[in-house]
Amino acid sequence: MNLDFGRIIPNIPFILQGILLTLQFTALSTIFGFLWGTVLSLFKISNITPLTWFSNVYTSIFRGTPLLVQLSLIYYATPQLTGYNISPLEAGVFTFSLNSGAYISETIRGGILAVDRGQGEAAKSLGVPYSMMMWDVILPQAVKNILPALANESINLLKDSTLVSVIGVTDILRRSQIVAAEKFIYFEPILVAALIYYVIVMGLTTGAYALERKLQRSS
């Protein structure tokens, strides 16, 4: 086996340029997925049957079908159905947020249920309305408990973001494939891509630990 990174060194900046896109993609999907997941989890624990029903069916569909299928559906079907010419990046963020929301909603629901019932009762007995109780008292404690799971979800999103290369987004993986095709060497550019992903994931992991420790201190 002879690896020759020398040949692709001039192309490495080109691959690195994908980082911004990948990060942007991950950040947006994590944020929207978290917000959407929070909404779904509140639906799930509500007493309003149609909302519980909706979020349960929703979760079942998004967990029960492959992400790549969802991505293709949204990317190719949106223009056909609505006439809106959705960009690959938009389709990606949209799909990943919807998908991640389904998973996160279960995590957040578990986190909410794990908060001591007494917390809600204490808030209620002070006359605090439901929405404030959830936002100020329950969710902060729930999120703190599920932080490791949320970090996991964000890492998954980062790695799953490689799927968008399928619909032509020039992310890290796509760029390394372009280099590979250009130079007729595959091993080296893809290895570079793998290394970049690994470094970013390590960064995320470290960040998540730091955040966890910080939150642990303040209680």
Partner 1 sequence: MPSNENYNVAVKVNDLHKYFGELQVLKGISNEINKGEVVAIIGPSGSGKSTFLRCMNLLEVPTKGNIYVDGVDITQPKVDIMKIRQNIGMVFQHFHLFPHMTVLENVMYAPIKVKKLSKVEAKQQASALLARVGLESKAQVYPSRLSGGQKQRVAIARSLAMQPEIMLFDEPTSALDPEMVKEVLDVMKGLADSGMTMAIVTHEMGFAKEVADRILFLDEGKLAEDATPDDFFSNPQCDRAKQFLEKML
- Told to check if 121 binds partner 1 by CB under 8 A, we report yes
Within the chain, where are the H helices?
A: 12-16, 18-45, 49-64, 67-82, 88-114, 117-125, 130-132, 139-160, 172-183, 187-217
HEC states along 131-192?
HHHHHHHHHHHHHHHHHHHHHHHHHHHHHHHHHHHHHCCCCHHHHHHHHHHHHCCCHHHHHH
User: Shortest Cβ distance from residue 145 to partner 1 (Å)?
Assistant: 11
Q: Choose, by CB under 8 A, the member of 24, 119, 177, 205 that binds partner 1.
A: 119
Q: Choose, by CB under 8 A, the member of 20, 61, 122, 210 that binds partner 1.
A: 122
Which has the closest alpha carbon to 152: 208, 101, 213? 208
- Told to check if 47 binds partner 1 by CB under 8 A, we report no
Residue 172 · residue 161 · CB < 8 Å: no
- Told to check if 219 binds partner 1 by CB under 8 A, we report yes
Q: Choose, by CB under 8 A, the member of 61, 77, 132, 199 that binds partner 1.
A: 132
- Told to check if 125 binds partner 1 by CB under 8 A, we report yes
- Told to check if 129 binds partner 1 by CB under 8 A, we report yes
User: Shortest Cβ distance from residue 219 to partner 1 (Å)?
Assistant: 5
- What is the binding site for partner 1 (CB under 8 A)? 116, 118-119, 121-129, 132, 136-137, 140-141, 144, 218-219
